[in-house]
Amino acid sequence: MLKSGYILSFLVFALIGCSQDKKVNTRCKHSSCEEGALATGANATFSPFKFPNAPEGPWTIKLEESPVPDPKTGLKKLKVSWAPYPNAKKYQLMIALDNTCTNPLKAYDNIIGIFYDQDYSRELLIDNGIKIFICLKAFLPDNATASPENSPLTVGAESERKLSFRLLPPLPSMHSGPVKIQWTELKGAISYDISLTDSKGKIIQTIANIKNAGLLNSYEISGLPQGRYFLRVLGNDPSGMKIKALTDKKDAPYEFLVSQEPVGAWNFLKAANPAPSGRTDAAFVYTPQGIILWGGSTSDGIAQDGAIYNPSTNQWTPMSVLNSPEPRLGPFAWTGSQLVIWGGSNFDNSSLKATQNLGNGSAYDPLKNQWVPLATAGAPAARQAHTLTAMEHSVFVWGGIDQLSIGDKSARTFNDGGIYDTITQRWTPVMSTSGISRAYHCSVWTGTVMLIWGGAEKKPDHELALLTHGEIFDPKTQQWRAMNNVGQPAARYAHNCVWTGKKMLVWGGSVQFFAVSNGAAYDPGTDSWSPIDDVNSPLATIGEASYWSGKYLMVWGGREGESNLVQVGGLYDPESNKWQFTTLQGAPSPRWGVSLSGTGEKVYFFGGDSIQKTSPGKVYDELVEFTFPP
């Protein structure tokens, strides 16, 4: 099964060193170091000095492990020591489960710097099966600091004991009654704690010292008010450490919803004739002639077929394939009279691998049941992960990347595009004056200007950078201007954007490794942002579907973490700045990659799949109707 979504990995390397014209003092991690000099503050000066017992070479943490465990606790005994650092006033030693040591399990904050001819040391007891980090810092005059070259020092490794300690998803995703929480055993744990916080990080409830029940533990919580909750389970280890239960999102908590008044109504439509094959990420558009379904990813590869569903006759009618675009995954746009497909990536269906980016496309007229290839003269370069946005009888292509994967070292994002007029069948090139390129961004047409926001920028041989930058393009004047950035959402990619007629709503997407469930609204009339309330908002998911009804932004489905498929969604009313949960009664089974489109009163869903990390899943050919509340 092929997916059009991409999970990006971001590795940030901070390189801090001495300037090129200075000899490096290998005992110093400070930007002003010179040979023989000490790490200092910006205005401090010291003469070269060497302690009588100061070791040659780098300043490091030394570690001694006792072969015999502590007789009382059975824990490993460690001795941490270090040589004195010149002119250090005091030292800070921290033991943590993360390499930043920002939330240490144990901290020695004020080890006074009184020795100059002997080592400092501390003895520790740790669980032999837990990976810990030891961080050391020397505090010097004028607020300068120095750290050993091997700080943080890693000790031990995550054991099967810790890796098997897992919090299970609190299924279903939405609850109207008691919430049953389950987790596997942390062997040797004394007890467990449960922590619930809201979307603002406020602690809602803490349950402490739950007895260890063995291989599978559970606890039921009742009486939670409506809202979105973040759940963690901690194991209380005999060593005094609190160990987090892992989830499919690594150290991130699970989210779940509690709703007493879900809204909307679901109806499965059974057509009089067979539906097209099940698929995800298809072009799907509600038109006066019926609902167009084209392409997408099937269990056999990328489709090059489609059909139109007529709600009045309850019939599917096959679409012509003559002059249709070659199979691909990529964006589409509806101009009001034609379905336009341009760019994207095609695939080898036998190997299920992307083979090339495309710089061509076609337009489909449902009245004529006819495809017309788009002109290639003057078209933008081949690309994927771009946006294709309808603007009256034209479409606007913007951004994207030039390689099959944005992780490719040579990949670069585009800061150009073009406007294709479906009547004259001509391209007009467009290039941004900001110099900022982007992919996995969003764009919306207001009726007069194009709004472009977010995404990711990639330059050859550079790391990927998430963008918080937004631009406004006026096609009549060919002028660009930057959006105000005050109050804008955090940087993200693959997010949802819709135009309400007054504002652009930005919601969801991914920030580095995880999906987010927040956003903001941009008003081009005042060039200002306002926050979207995230109380009672949907879960943060990947591969969710979104739609603007004329009154509500609908977000539904998707995948939370690696295996928790979501069956619930939310309706956001920008006038009241409030969310409501969609009902589970009669809802489609949990899935992601759904295609949807509709009218102001109803929205239609097609397809999606239930693929998970541990399961091949099912590709759906179901057509489902959702009726909005008044």
Q: Based on the domain organization, do 31 and 99 belong to the same domain?
A: yes
Instruction: Find where tokens 């992780």 sit.
Output: 407
Q: Based on the domain organization, do 49 and 174 belong to the same domain?
A: no
The pLDDT score that the predictor gives to residue 594 is: 95
CB 337 within 8 A of CB 324: no
Last-in-domain residue among 158, 186, 213: 158
In-domain check, residue 576 = no
What pLDDT digit, counting tens, does each position of 294-323 carry?
999 998 899 999 999 999 999 999 999 999
Q: Using CA atoms, how far apart are residues 388 and 384, in angstroms rounded to an integer?
A: 10
- Name residue 469's beta-bridge partners: none
Instruction: Count structural domains, the chain.
Output: 3
The pLDDT score that the predictor gives to residue 114 is: 67
In-domain check, residue 544 = no
Q: Based on the domain organization, do 287 and 361 belong to the same domain?
A: yes
In-domain check, residue 89 = yes
Q: How confident is the prediction for the chain on average, in pLDDT?
A: 85
Q: Establish whether the linkage from the previous residue to 152 is cis, with ω within 30° of 0.
A: yes
Q: Based on the domain organization, do 151 and 10 belong to the same domain?
A: yes
Last-in-domain residue among 158, 190, 214: 158
In-domain check, residue 507 = no
Mean pLDDT of 504-532: 93
Please tell me which residue, 140 or 240, carries the higher pLDDT value.
Answer: 140
Q: Based on the domain organization, do 118 and 212 belong to the same domain?
A: no
Q: Based on the domain organization, do 285 and 312 belong to the same domain?
A: yes
Residue 141 clears pLDDT 70, i.e. is over it: yes
Residue 254 clears pLDDT 60, i.e. is over it: yes
Q: Based on the domain organization, do 283 and 213 belong to the same domain?
A: no
Query: 18-32, 178-192, 517-531 — which is least confidently predicted?
Result: 18-32
Tokens read off for 435: 């110099």
Reported confidence tier of residue 354, pLDDT bands at 50, 70, 90:
confident
Residues 6+ apart with CB under 8 A from 370: 320, 322, 323, 364
366 vs 19, 301, 390, 443, CA distance in Å?
65, 25, 17, 25
Q: Based on the domain organization, do 146 and 129 belong to the same domain?
A: yes
SS (H, E, C) 123-184: EEEECCCCCEEEEEEEECHHHCEECCCCCCEEECCCCHHHHCCEECCCCCCEECCCEEEEEE
Give the domain CATH number at 321: 2.120.10.80
In-domain check, residue 370 = yes
The pLDDT score that the predictor gives to residue 444 is: 98
In-domain check, residue 574 = no
Q: Based on the domain organization, do 397 and 407 belong to the same domain?
A: yes
- Name residue 548's beta-bridge partners: 553
What pLDDT digit, counting tens, does each position of 262-272 carry?
999 999 999 99
Q: Based on the domain organization, do 305 and 438 belong to the same domain?
A: yes
- Among 612, 623, 626, which Cα is nearest to 171's? 612
The pLDDT score that the predictor gives to residue 39 is: 27
Give the domain CATH number at 238: 2.60.40.1220
Residue 386 clears pLDDT 70, i.e. is over it: yes
In-domain check, residue 434 = yes
Mean pLDDT of 349-363: 88
Find which of 3-7, 103-107, 291-295 is predicted with most confidence, using mean pLDDT: 291-295
Q: Based on the domain organization, do 328 and 383 belong to the same domain?
A: yes
Reported confidence tier of residue 12, pLDDT bands at 50, 70, 90:
very low
The pLDDT score that the predictor gives to residue 562 is: 63
What's the domain range around 13? 1-158
Give the domain CATH number at 137: 2.60.40.10
Inter-residue long-range contacts of 374-377, CB under 8 Å, 24+ positions, other chains counted? 374/340, 374/342, 374/420, 374/425, 375/420, 375/425, 375/426, 375/427, 377/427
Instruction: Find where tokens 């996995």 sit.
Output: 440
Tokens read off for 532: 């979207």
Residue 560 clears pLDDT 60, i.e. is over it: yes
In-domain check, residue 577 = no
The amino acid present at 563, given as its one-letter code, is: S
- Among 396, 392, 436, 443, which Cα is nearest to 414's? 436
The pLDDT score that the predictor gives to residue 213 is: 93
Q: Based on the domain organization, do 394 and 470 belong to the same domain?
A: yes
Q: pLDDT above 70 covers what percent of the chain? A: 86
Last-in-domain residue among 158, 187, 222: 158
Residue 57 clears pLDDT 70, i.e. is over it: no
